[in-house]
Amino acid sequence: MLENPKTLHYTNTLNDAVKLYKQNNVNCAPVMDDEKNVLGILTVFRLIDAVRAGADFNEPVDQVMDKNLHIVDEDTSFSEISNKPIDRLIILNNQKRLTGVLTKIDLINKVHNALINTEVELSETTEVNKELRSIIEAFYDAVIVVDNHGLVLMVNNKYFRLQGHAKDISGEHVDNIDIDEHDKIIQVYHDVIKSGKVSSIKYQSEQSELVLTASPVLDENNHPIRVIITIRDLTELNKLKLQSEKAFQELNSLRAKEQKDFIYKSNKMVHLVNKVLRVSRVDSTVLITGESGVGKEVIAKSIHRNSYRSEGPFIQINCGAIPEHLIESELFGYEKGAFTGANKEGKPGMMELANGGTLLLDEVGDLPLNLQVKLLRALQEQEIFRIGGRYPIKLDIRILAATNKDLSQLIKENKFREDLFYRLNVVPIHIPSLRERWEDILPLAMYNLDKFNHKYNMTKTFSSEVCRLFEKYSWPGNVRELSNQVERLVIMSDSNVIEANQLPDNFFIDEQKIPFKIKVDKIVPLKDAREALEMELINLAFKKYGSLRSAGEALGVAHSTLLRKARSLGISLQE
């Protein structure tokens, strides 16, 4: 509708009408009298017809205008005027004053726009419904949507898989649905309708464990208009959890095997490396223990390299190799002029240099008692004072400690502070000796053989007898001794094959002459004791050597005798 249209006075000329059309971009104008009553309407087409018939442009508009008016009230409904066979309607208000002009084109455009808007709204509604349906289908749980009258509006595909049948309960009343969980669904549904809050219940069927949760959809007055009921199958989730844990363990094992710092085959080292990788991800203090030469420093470096501090410094201080009167200045540093002979500019200590990284206190069991107090305070407060300094230096370091001594025994002997021990022993890691993991001896030997062959540009190999003697040897110096021994053999061997006669004499000590102890904690018949010992020795030998012949040689009996003895004791040996 053209609201508040431009009008002509009945005394205006046709020429005035043309100017009005041109200035306001319209094709008609109502003609008014002095009291602003509508007398008629002049359209462009009527004006043109009049000029063609000989009318002059100076002729008054009331001589040409259309006096056959179709007038309607502005409150008239659309349905009352939509079917009238007219081109224009004069719209008057309640005071009978002109408010607008409505044409057929206006009506058509209005209908067209209404249809377009309806189409857009329908399209948007369809898209929203599709999106909501997709969201409900994406749920891992089975979903049932119920309105506030108890009518089931929809279910998702997971519902059908959970129920094991294709019966669609959409359109049914929630009280009448025929499924196993009927009573529980009714319970949570009515709980939500009554309280307007989430309700949940666990349900144990014959084959599975389920959790039903009902959540309300509220209107503007916080009244439930929909209830979304989800059914979660915990049985399947528990299976997934077990599979996830298994995959996590396998992943840890793969990560452990990919650690280039460690050469191993034994289960003990697999568990150890997994522990190292786990503790690397946190910032806890770690106490690494083990005999001399087992690789405590290698473990410490691996923890640092796999931690979030890997980009920071790795500082190592040997507490047993530095004179007692110097170790304090090495740890904490000193200011200029702190003591005679000090650097004129002062010097930062190892703990200060390790800021943002990791500090390894190697041989921490040799740390003097007076320094143990200062170290404990530094660890607790995460700050130090340089010797001669007056201002604290804040620390951001991770502490790793290593020792080959029994700190518990040192505590009893008053050589190590108990409070410092507990501060360092947050996560203990004990590295087993090489004799406790004989499976790692040959992999380590071959690794070192390749390393020294490459270093010295040689192609040496071990004879089978050397490999056998390596496995039987106790390696009191552990990995360090093995590495040194392989390097010596590579350098000193005259032939490409390293033979047993090139090994030191201590490799040929008769194992049967090495004293050993059998622990007895109760009295049993000699026959039972003998059989138990034989079973233990046979299992141990077969596990170590993997064949009847080799196990028999180690036990000093023929392999046929060993097989017969094993069968009599009920031991199954399969090569």
Q: What is the mean pLDDT of the chain?
A: 83
As a whole number, mean pLDDT of residues 429-442 equals 91
- Whether residue 204 is predicted with pLDDT greater than 90 in this model: the reply is no
In a domain, 144, yes or no: yes
Tell me what pLDDT residue 511 has: 44
- For residues 322 and 398, state if they share a domain: yes
Claim to verify: residue 271 and residue 416 sit in the same structural domain: yes
**Burial annotation 423-458 (CB, 10 A radius, 16+ → b, else e):** bbeebebebbbbeebbebbeebbebbbeebbeeeee
- Judge whether 14 lies within some domain: yes
Mean pLDDT of 465-480: 90
State whether 265 and 401 are in the same domain.
yes
Q: What is the pLDDT of residue 153?
A: 86
Looking at the structure, do residues 418 and 443 belong to the same domain, yes or no? no
299 pLDDT more than 50: yes
Q: Is residue 123 part of a domain?
A: no
Q: How far apart are CA 40 and CA 121, in angstroms?
A: 41
Q: pTM of this prediction?
A: 0.49
**172-192, pLDDT tens digit by residue?**
888 888 777 778 888 888 899
Task: Write out pLDDT tens, residues 99-118.
Answer: 777 765 565 556 556 556 65
**Closest by alpha carbon to 269, among 299, 303, 304?**
299
Q: Concatenated DSSP letters for 411-435?
A: HHTTSS-HHHHHHHTTEEEEPPPGG
Q: Do 156 and 138 contact (CB within 8 A), yes or no?
A: no
Return the closest-CA partner of residue 353 out of 322, 396, 385.
396
Residues near 250 by Cβ (< 8 Å), separated by ≥ 6? none
Please check whether residue 253 lies inside any domain of the structure.
no
Given this model, what pLDDT does residue 166 score? 61
Same domain for 485 and 402: no
Angle subtended at Cα 497 by Cα 496 and Cα 502, rounded to the nearest 5 degrees? 110
Residue 450 lies in a domain: yes
Distance CA 511, CA 541 (A): 13
The whole-number pLDDT of residue 122 equals 66
Q: With helix as H, strand as E and coil as C, how does 226-241 read?
A: EEEEEEEEHHHHHHHH
Model confidence over 224-263: pLDDT tens digits?
A: 888 988 888 777 666 776 676 566 556 555 555 555 567 8
Contact assessment for residue 234 and residue 270, using Cβ atoms and an 8 Å cutoff: no
513 alpha-carbon distance from chain centroid: 57
Mean local confidence (pLDDT), 414-443: 92
Residue range of the domain that includes 171: 139-237
Supply the pLDDT for residue 508: 77
b/e per residue 282-294 (b: at least 16 CB within 10 A):
eeebbbbbbbebb
User: Cβ(179)–Cβ(163) under 8 Å?
Assistant: yes
Instruction: Answer whether residue 249 is part of any domain.
Output: no
Residue 503 and residue 552 in one domain:
no
Residue 512: predicted pLDDT: 45
Same structural domain for residues 428 and 462?
no
Assign residue 199 the CATH number of its domain.
3.30.450.20
The last residue of a domain, from among 491, 513, 535: 513
**DSSP single-letter state for residue 66:** B
pLDDT at 510 over 50: no
**CATH number of the domain residue 280 falls in:** 3.40.50.300
Instruction: Compute how many other C-beta atoms are within 10 angstroms of the C-beta atom of residue 238.
Output: 12
**Tens-place pLDDT, residues 399-417:** 999 999 999 999 999 999 9
Indicate whether 79 and 188 sit together in one domain: no
Cα separation of 455 and 226, whole Å?
76
Is 42 in contact with 63 (CB distance < 8 Å)? no
Whether residue 171 lies inside any domain: the answer is yes
Mean pLDDT is lowest, of 123-137, 292-306, 424-438, 498-512, for 123-137
Q: Please provide the size of the chain in residues.
A: 575
Residues forming a β-bridge with 402: 288, 362
DSSP structure class, residue 499: P
58 touches 15 (CB < 8 A): yes
**Bridge partners of 98?**
92
Distance CA 394, CA 385 (A): 9
One domain, residues 56 and 194: no
Looking at the structure, do residues 494 and 542 belong to the same domain, yes or no?
Answer: no
Same domain, 102 and 149: no
CATH code of the domain in which 476 resides: 1.10.8.60
CA angle 483, 461, 492 (to 5 degrees): 60
Count CA atoms closer than 13 A to 559's CA, side-chain side.
11
Which letter, b or e, does each residue of 194-215 get, where b requires 16 or more Cβ atoms within 10 Å of its Cβ? eeeeebebebeeeeeebbbbbb
CATH number where 22 lies: 3.10.580.10
Q: Are 150 and 281 members of one domain?
A: no
Task: Tell me the helix, strand and coil percentages in the chain, rounded to 5.
Answer: 45, 20, 35
Closest CA to 432 of 572, 294, 556: 294
Q: What is the 3-state secondary structure (H, E, C) of 503-525?
A: CCHHHHCCHHHCCCCCCCCCCCC
What local confidence, expressed as pLDDT, does residue 311 receive? 93
Closest CA to 229 of 162, 171, 154: 154
Q: Could you report the per-residue pLDDT of 38-54, keeping only the tens digit for each?
A: 888 888 888 888 888 88
Q: Among 412, 432, 452, where does a domain finish?
A: 432
- Alpha-helical (H) ranges within 212-365 are 234-257, 267-280, 296-305, 324-332, 350-353
State which of 432, 456, 484 marks the end of a domain: 432
Number of H helices, E strands in the chain: 20, 23
Q: Which tokens is 402 given?
A: 């290593």
Q: Which structure tokens are listed for 63? A: 């001589």
Residue 189: name the closest of 208, 171, 181 by CA.
181
Q: Tell me, what DSSP letter sits at residue 151?
A: B
Task: Specify the number of domains making up the chain.
Answer: 5
| Contact predicate 480/404, CB 8 Å | no
Are the beta carbons of 212 and 181 closer than 8 angstroms? yes
